[in-house]
Amino acid sequence: MIISASRRTDIPAFYSEWFFNRIKDGYVLVRNPMNIHQVSRISLSPDVVDCIVFWTKNPKPMMSRLDELKGYNYYFQFTLNSYSTDVEPNVPSKGKDILNTFIELSDMVGPERIIWRYDPIIVTEKYSIEYHATYFEKLALALSGKFGRCVISFVDEYKKNAKNFRDNGLKELERIQMADIAQRFSEIAKRYSFKIYTCAEQIDLSDYGIEHNSCIDKELIESLVGAKLKVQKDKTQRDECGCVDSIDIGSYNTCTHGCKYCYANYSSGVVLNNFSCYDPNSPLLCSLLQPEDKVTERPMKSLIDNQLDLW
């Protein structure tokens, strides 16, 4: 199986101690977001975990403990963009902290295990297309040779982040804006010799050399594992998403970065309340088992295809 850690929150930034305790104990409990009293017990044994995919804006808190992941395959989806604290209030300084963290992590684990995410792209009077092109190139120069691929996406409005959109004057991009950004970014990518992909986008940008991406990527994981996987597309994601099946061990409303475009936090008050419940020794993230909870052992197995390929 593939573990996603996590689309729902930034585990490396805020909950690395909890994560390593889960690795040590060999299991994790995860609430069903649609039915919070339905809890799954998920094995984290390296015998069944084929790969762990980390999603983060700041992996620094966990980097000194990566030796504890010996026996596991993993890679990072590392978001590093050009927004200031008006959009990402609690993300450390990009120039002073995060840029150096990115380079340090790449030197530790290898660039093939790092996906640079410049997303989501927001266009406002301050964050104009020209602004994005300028800072995308500055980051491309600084990160040259330190990542395997670059992934972009354009900001989307969901029911979950609609209030943030209204309160912060955000809006989805027009297709002509997307095409303009794609052209500028593709020219930069050619200068620095890397490929750009899109995440869960309908728009076809192949004219600019930009293809669709799979964040939970079968081919990448197969290259890390050294074997073929028997795995299907993740049907719980949008049609535009190319990711394969994974199990997410995070929880919504627990990320304290406070990003204005976030779809995983519904309320800052709920986030703070959940964060106050954080116990690194609990098998549940920012939660404790209640009498009404029903815990079910989820069947787990490796996805490695052991069938002999004669051809």
Banded model confidence at residue 108, pLDDT cuts 50, 70, 90: very high
> Measured between alpha carbons, how far is 124 from 84 in angstroms, rounded to an integer?
13
Overall average pLDDT of the 59-79 stretch: 97
Which one-letter amino acid corresponds to residue 288? L
Q: Nearest CA to 42 among 304, 296, 303?
A: 296
Q: What is the pTM of this model?
A: 0.94
308, pLDDT greater than 60 = no
Position 311 scores a pLDDT of 44
170, pLDDT greater than 80 = no
Q: Nearest CA to 53 among 199, 212, 218, 198?
A: 218
Least confident of 64-68, 217-221, 233-237: 233-237
Which one-letter amino acid corresponds to residue 53? V
Q: Nearest CA to 146 among 84, 82, 101?
A: 101
